[in-house]
Protein backbone atom coordinates (compact mmCIF):
# COMPACT_ATOMS: atom_id res chain seq x y z
CA UNK A 1 0.00 0.00 0.00
CA UNK A 2 1.25 3.54 -0.76
CA UNK A 3 2.15 5.57 2.26
CA UNK A 4 0.25 8.84 2.79
CA UNK A 5 2.91 11.54 2.88
CA UNK A 6 0.61 14.53 2.79
CA UNK A 7 -1.92 14.81 5.57
CA UNK A 8 -3.03 18.27 4.58
CA UNK A 9 -2.53 19.88 1.18
CA UNK A 10 -3.71 23.45 0.59
CA UNK A 11 -4.21 24.48 -3.04
CA UNK A 12 -4.52 28.16 -3.79
CA UNK A 13 -6.06 28.46 -7.25
CA UNK A 14 -7.97 25.26 -7.97
CA UNK A 15 -7.95 25.44 -11.77
CA UNK A 16 -6.51 23.27 -14.53
CA UNK A 17 -3.06 22.82 -12.96
CA UNK A 18 -3.96 22.91 -9.24
CA UNK A 19 -6.92 20.59 -9.82
CA UNK A 20 -4.88 18.16 -11.92
CA UNK A 21 -2.15 18.00 -9.24
CA UNK A 22 -4.83 17.19 -6.63
CA UNK A 23 -6.37 14.46 -8.79
CA UNK A 24 -3.01 12.87 -9.60
CA UNK A 25 -1.95 12.79 -5.92
CA UNK A 26 -5.31 11.34 -4.91
CA UNK A 27 -4.93 8.62 -7.49
CA UNK A 28 -1.47 7.83 -6.10
CA UNK A 29 -3.04 7.66 -2.58
CA UNK A 30 -0.46 10.10 -1.25
CA UNK A 31 -2.83 12.68 0.19
CA UNK A 32 -5.35 12.58 3.00
CA UNK A 33 -7.11 15.96 2.98
CA UNK A 34 -7.16 18.75 0.38
CA UNK A 35 -8.28 22.29 1.15
CA UNK A 36 -9.06 24.65 -1.74
CA UNK A 37 -8.73 28.43 -1.74
CA UNK A 38 -9.86 30.50 -4.70
CA UNK A 39 -11.34 33.61 -6.15
CA UNK A 40 -14.50 32.07 -7.56
CA UNK A 41 -16.89 30.33 -5.14
CA UNK A 42 -18.59 28.66 -8.09
CA UNK A 43 -15.31 27.05 -9.22
CA UNK A 44 -14.53 25.86 -5.68
CA UNK A 45 -18.01 24.33 -5.30
CA UNK A 46 -17.45 22.53 -8.58
CA UNK A 47 -14.02 21.36 -7.34
CA UNK A 48 -15.67 19.86 -4.26
CA UNK A 49 -18.41 18.26 -6.34
CA UNK A 50 -15.77 16.68 -8.61
CA UNK A 51 -13.87 15.33 -5.59
CA UNK A 52 -10.81 17.45 -6.40
CA UNK A 53 -10.85 19.09 -2.94
CA UNK A 54 -12.38 17.99 0.37
CA UNK A 55 -12.94 21.41 1.86
CA UNK A 56 -13.41 25.02 0.77
CA UNK A 57 -11.44 27.35 3.02
CA UNK A 58 -13.30 30.21 4.65
CA UNK A 59 -10.35 31.57 6.53
CA UNK A 60 -6.71 31.66 5.36
CA UNK A 61 -5.17 31.27 8.82
CA UNK A 62 -7.37 28.27 9.62
CA UNK A 63 -6.66 26.74 6.19
CA UNK A 64 -2.88 26.96 6.68
CA UNK A 65 -2.96 25.43 10.18
CA UNK A 66 -1.08 22.09 10.17
CA UNK A 67 -0.60 22.21 6.38
CA UNK A 68 2.17 19.95 5.07
CA UNK A 69 2.20 21.59 1.66
CA UNK A 70 0.82 24.73 0.02
CA UNK A 71 0.57 24.71 -3.77
CA UNK A 72 0.30 28.13 -5.42
CA UNK A 73 -1.55 27.64 -8.71
CA UNK A 74 -2.90 31.12 -9.42
CA UNK A 75 -1.95 33.24 -12.48
CA UNK A 76 1.64 34.49 -12.12
CA UNK A 77 0.51 38.09 -11.58
CA UNK A 78 -1.22 36.91 -8.38
CA UNK A 79 1.60 34.80 -6.96
CA UNK A 80 3.49 37.68 -5.26
CA UNK A 81 0.35 38.91 -3.50
CA UNK A 82 -0.58 35.38 -2.49
CA UNK A 83 2.89 34.71 -1.05
CA UNK A 84 2.62 37.95 0.96
CA UNK A 85 -0.78 36.87 2.34
CA UNK A 86 0.23 33.33 3.32
CA UNK A 87 3.52 34.49 4.87
CA UNK A 88 1.52 35.89 7.80
CA UNK A 89 0.24 32.46 8.83
CA UNK A 90 2.65 29.83 7.45
CA UNK A 91 3.96 27.34 9.97
CA UNK A 92 7.67 26.57 9.93
CA UNK A 93 7.12 22.93 8.86
CA UNK A 94 4.96 23.82 5.83
CA UNK A 95 6.54 23.39 2.41
CA UNK A 96 5.49 25.87 -0.26
CA UNK A 97 5.68 25.30 -3.99
CA UNK A 98 4.21 26.99 -7.05
CA UNK A 99 3.48 26.08 -10.66
CA UNK A 100 3.96 29.49 -12.25
CA UNK A 101 5.04 29.61 -15.89
CA UNK A 102 7.74 32.19 -15.07
CA UNK A 103 10.19 31.71 -12.24
CA UNK A 104 12.37 34.77 -11.56
CA UNK A 105 9.39 36.90 -10.46
CA UNK A 106 8.13 34.19 -8.12
CA UNK A 107 11.57 33.91 -6.53
CA UNK A 108 11.75 37.69 -6.02
CA UNK A 109 8.39 37.54 -4.20
CA UNK A 110 9.55 34.59 -2.09
CA UNK A 111 12.73 36.46 -1.14
CA UNK A 112 10.64 39.44 -0.04
CA UNK A 113 8.02 37.62 2.00
CA UNK A 114 9.37 34.17 2.91
CA UNK A 115 12.92 35.24 3.78
CA UNK A 116 12.66 33.53 7.18
CA UNK A 117 11.76 30.16 5.64
CA UNK A 118 13.25 29.91 2.17
CA UNK A 119 14.50 26.41 2.97
CA UNK A 120 10.92 25.22 2.51
CA UNK A 121 10.23 27.02 -0.77
CA UNK A 122 10.52 24.95 -3.97
CA UNK A 123 9.63 26.82 -7.19
CA UNK A 124 8.39 24.51 -9.94
CA UNK A 125 6.86 24.57 -13.42
CA UNK A 126 5.05 21.64 -15.02
CA UNK A 127 5.51 21.68 -18.79
CA UNK A 128 2.00 20.44 -19.25
CA UNK A 129 -1.26 22.13 -19.88
CA UNK A 130 -3.97 22.75 -22.38
CA UNK A 131 -5.73 25.81 -23.74
CA UNK A 132 -8.56 25.10 -21.26
CA UNK A 133 -8.90 26.72 -17.83
CA UNK A 134 -10.71 26.03 -14.59
CA UNK A 135 -11.30 22.94 -12.51
CA UNK A 136 -13.62 21.37 -15.09
CA UNK A 137 -10.54 20.85 -17.27
CA UNK A 138 -8.52 19.18 -14.47
CA UNK A 139 -7.25 15.72 -15.31
CA UNK A 140 -5.24 13.20 -13.28
CA UNK A 141 -3.14 12.28 -16.36
CA UNK A 142 -2.12 15.83 -17.27
CA UNK A 143 1.47 15.48 -16.02
CA UNK A 144 2.07 11.95 -17.23
CA UNK A 145 5.37 11.73 -19.15
CA UNK A 146 5.65 15.53 -19.09
CA UNK A 147 8.64 17.59 -17.95
CA UNK A 148 8.57 19.25 -14.57
CA UNK A 149 11.22 21.88 -13.95
CA UNK A 150 12.42 22.81 -10.49
CA UNK A 151 14.31 26.08 -9.99
CA UNK A 152 15.31 25.81 -6.32
CA UNK A 153 17.01 28.64 -4.49
CA UNK A 154 20.42 28.21 -2.87
CA UNK A 155 18.54 28.23 0.43
CA UNK A 156 16.02 25.53 -0.52
CA UNK A 157 16.68 22.43 1.57
CA UNK A 158 17.54 19.11 -0.05
CA UNK A 159 14.71 17.50 1.93
CA UNK A 160 12.15 19.94 0.52
CA UNK A 161 13.44 19.31 -3.04
CA UNK A 162 13.19 15.53 -2.51
CA UNK A 163 9.69 15.84 -1.12
CA UNK A 164 8.40 17.89 -4.07
CA UNK A 165 10.28 15.65 -6.52
CA UNK A 166 8.58 12.59 -5.08
CA UNK A 167 5.13 14.17 -5.39
CA UNK A 168 5.63 15.20 -9.02
CA UNK A 169 7.12 11.81 -9.90
CA UNK A 170 4.01 10.18 -8.49
CA UNK A 171 2.01 12.37 -10.94
CA UNK A 172 4.08 10.78 -13.74
CA UNK A 173 6.33 13.80 -14.40
CA UNK A 174 10.02 13.74 -15.41
CA UNK A 175 11.98 16.10 -13.22
CA UNK A 176 14.79 18.46 -14.18
CA UNK A 177 16.44 21.35 -12.36
CA UNK A 178 17.83 24.63 -13.66
CA UNK A 179 18.40 28.26 -12.75
CA UNK A 180 15.30 30.46 -12.83
CA UNK A 181 16.95 32.86 -15.32
CA UNK A 182 17.72 29.98 -17.71
CA UNK A 183 14.15 28.72 -17.33
CA UNK A 184 12.65 32.09 -18.23
CA UNK A 185 14.86 32.45 -21.31
CA UNK A 186 14.08 28.94 -22.57
CA UNK A 187 10.34 29.30 -22.13
CA UNK A 188 10.24 32.73 -23.75
CA UNK A 189 11.29 30.87 -26.92
CA UNK A 190 9.50 27.57 -26.45
CA UNK A 191 6.17 28.69 -25.02
CA UNK A 192 5.64 32.41 -24.57
CA UNK A 193 6.54 33.49 -28.14
CA UNK A 194 4.35 30.75 -29.74
CA UNK A 195 1.36 31.92 -27.67
CA UNK A 196 1.94 35.52 -28.77
CA UNK A 197 2.10 34.38 -32.40
CA UNK A 198 -1.16 32.44 -32.09
CA UNK A 199 -3.00 35.35 -30.44
CA UNK A 200 -1.58 37.72 -33.06
CA UNK A 201 -2.64 35.53 -35.98
CA UNK A 202 -6.24 35.48 -34.72
CA UNK A 203 -6.20 39.28 -34.41
CA UNK A 204 -4.56 39.59 -37.82
CA UNK A 205 -7.41 37.62 -39.41
CA UNK A 206 -9.88 39.89 -37.66
CA UNK A 207 -8.09 43.00 -38.96
CA UNK A 208 -7.81 41.67 -42.52
CA UNK A 209 -11.50 40.71 -42.44
CA UNK A 210 -12.32 44.28 -41.28
CA UNK A 211 -13.88 43.07 -38.05
CA UNK A 212 -15.96 40.25 -39.61
CA UNK A 213 -13.57 37.30 -39.05
CA UNK A 214 -16.24 34.67 -39.75
CA UNK A 215 -16.05 35.67 -43.44
CA UNK A 216 -12.53 34.23 -43.46
CA UNK A 217 -12.67 31.68 -40.65
CA UNK A 218 -15.30 29.57 -42.40
CA UNK A 219 -12.56 28.65 -44.85
CA UNK A 220 -10.05 27.63 -42.14
CA UNK A 221 -8.50 24.20 -42.49
CA UNK A 222 -6.66 21.92 -40.10
CA UNK A 223 -3.42 23.89 -40.40
CA UNK A 224 -5.09 27.07 -39.16
CA UNK A 225 -6.86 25.14 -36.41
CA UNK A 226 -3.58 23.51 -35.27
CA UNK A 227 -1.62 26.75 -35.36
CA UNK A 228 -4.18 28.76 -33.37
CA UNK A 229 -5.23 26.18 -30.75
CA UNK A 230 -3.33 27.99 -28.03
CA UNK A 231 -5.06 31.30 -28.84
CA UNK A 232 -7.98 29.80 -26.86
CA UNK A 233 -5.84 30.07 -23.70
CA UNK A 234 -6.69 32.32 -20.77
CA UNK A 235 -5.96 36.00 -21.61
CA UNK A 236 -5.40 36.78 -17.92
CA UNK A 237 -2.82 34.02 -17.57
CA UNK A 238 -0.99 35.10 -20.72
CA UNK A 239 -1.08 38.81 -19.87
CA UNK A 240 0.69 37.94 -16.62
CA UNK A 241 3.24 35.60 -18.23
CA UNK A 242 4.15 38.20 -20.88
CA UNK A 243 4.53 41.00 -18.34
CA UNK A 244 6.58 38.93 -15.90
CA UNK A 245 8.93 37.66 -18.63
CA UNK A 246 9.01 40.97 -20.50
CA UNK A 247 12.76 41.29 -21.15
CA UNK A 248 13.25 37.78 -22.59
CA UNK A 249 10.07 38.01 -24.59
CA UNK A 250 11.00 41.37 -26.15
CA UNK A 251 14.27 39.79 -27.37
CA UNK A 252 12.33 36.86 -28.83
CA UNK A 253 9.86 39.13 -30.63
CA UNK A 254 12.73 41.15 -32.15
CA UNK A 255 14.55 38.01 -33.29
CA UNK A 256 11.37 36.58 -34.78
CA UNK A 257 10.70 39.84 -36.62
CA UNK A 258 14.20 39.54 -38.14
CA UNK A 259 13.37 36.00 -39.36
CA UNK A 260 10.10 37.25 -40.87
CA UNK A 261 11.84 40.23 -42.49
CA UNK A 262 14.42 37.90 -44.07
CA UNK A 263 11.66 35.67 -45.39
CA UNK A 264 9.76 38.68 -46.72
CA UNK A 265 12.86 39.74 -48.64
CA UNK A 266 13.24 36.27 -50.24
CA UNK A 267 9.62 36.45 -51.34
CA UNK A 268 9.85 40.01 -52.64
CA UNK A 269 12.97 39.01 -54.63
CA UNK A 270 11.27 35.92 -56.09
CA UNK A 271 14.14 33.97 -54.51
CA UNK A 272 12.60 30.50 -54.64
CA UNK A 273 15.93 28.77 -54.05
CA UNK A 274 16.54 30.44 -50.68
CA UNK A 275 12.87 30.12 -49.75
CA UNK A 276 12.96 26.37 -50.35
CA UNK A 277 16.25 26.07 -48.45
CA UNK A 278 14.71 27.94 -45.50
CA UNK A 279 11.65 25.67 -45.44
CA UNK A 280 13.83 22.56 -45.87
CA UNK A 281 15.94 23.56 -42.91
CA UNK A 282 12.83 24.03 -40.71
CA UNK A 283 11.37 20.73 -41.91
CA UNK A 284 14.61 18.84 -41.18
CA UNK A 285 14.86 20.29 -37.67
CA UNK A 286 11.25 19.31 -36.97
CA UNK A 287 11.70 15.78 -38.37
CA UNK A 288 14.78 15.24 -36.20
CA UNK A 289 12.98 16.58 -33.12
CA UNK A 290 10.04 14.20 -33.64
CA UNK A 291 12.46 11.30 -34.17
CA UNK A 292 14.38 12.13 -30.97
CA UNK A 293 11.12 12.48 -29.05
CA UNK A 294 9.75 9.05 -29.96
In 10 A of CB 91, how many CB atoms? 12
**Which strands make up the sheet holding 69-72, listed edge to edge?**
55-56, 31-37, 6-12, 69-72, 95-98, 121-126, 147-150, 174-177
Q: Which stretch binds ligand NAD (CB under 6 A): 23-31, 35-43, 158-166, 268-276?
A: 35-43
Nearest-angstrom CA–CA distance, 83 and 80: 5
31-37 and 95-98: which strand pairing? unpaired
**75 is a contact residue toward ligand NAD (CB under 6 A):** yes
**64 is a contact residue toward ligand NAD (CB under 6 A):** no
**123 is a contact residue toward ligand NAD (CB under 6 A):** no
Beta carbons of 123 and 148 less than 8 angstroms apart = no
**36 is a contact residue toward ligand NAD (CB under 6 A):** no
**12 is a contact residue toward ligand NAD (CB under 6 A):** yes
**80 is a contact residue toward ligand NAD (CB under 6 A):** no
**Of 80, 129, 152, 172, the one binding ligand NAD by CB under 6 A:** 129
**234 is a contact residue toward ligand NAD (CB under 6 A):** yes
Residue 191 beta carbon to ligand NAD: minimum distance, rounded to whole angstroms: 8
**Of 17, 23, 64, 95, the one binding ligand NAD by CB under 6 A:** 17
Q: What separation in angstroms does the CA of 36 have from each of 8, 13, 259, 266, 284?
A: 11, 7, 45, 55, 46
Beta carbons of 144 and 126 less than 8 angstroms apart = no
**Of 30, 35, 67, 73, the one binding ligand NAD by CB under 6 A:** 73
For residue 241, give the nearest of 189, 179, 188, 198 by alpha carbon: 188
Q: Which stretch binds ligand NAD (CB under 6 A): 23-31, 98-106, 176-184, 257-265?
A: 98-106
**134 is a contact residue toward ligand NAD (CB under 6 A):** yes
Residues engaged in binding ligand NAD (CB under 6 A): 12-18, 37-40, 43, 73-76, 78, 82, 99-101, 125-126, 129, 133-134, 234, 237, 241
Amino acid sequence: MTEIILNKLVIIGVGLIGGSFALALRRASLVEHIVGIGRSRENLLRAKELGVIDEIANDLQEALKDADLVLLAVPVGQIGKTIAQISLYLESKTIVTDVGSTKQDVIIAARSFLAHNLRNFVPSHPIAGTELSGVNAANANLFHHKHLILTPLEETSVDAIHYITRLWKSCGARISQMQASQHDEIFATMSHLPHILAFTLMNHVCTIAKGSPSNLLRFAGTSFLDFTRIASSSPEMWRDICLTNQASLLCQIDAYQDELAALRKMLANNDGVTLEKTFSNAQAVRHQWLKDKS
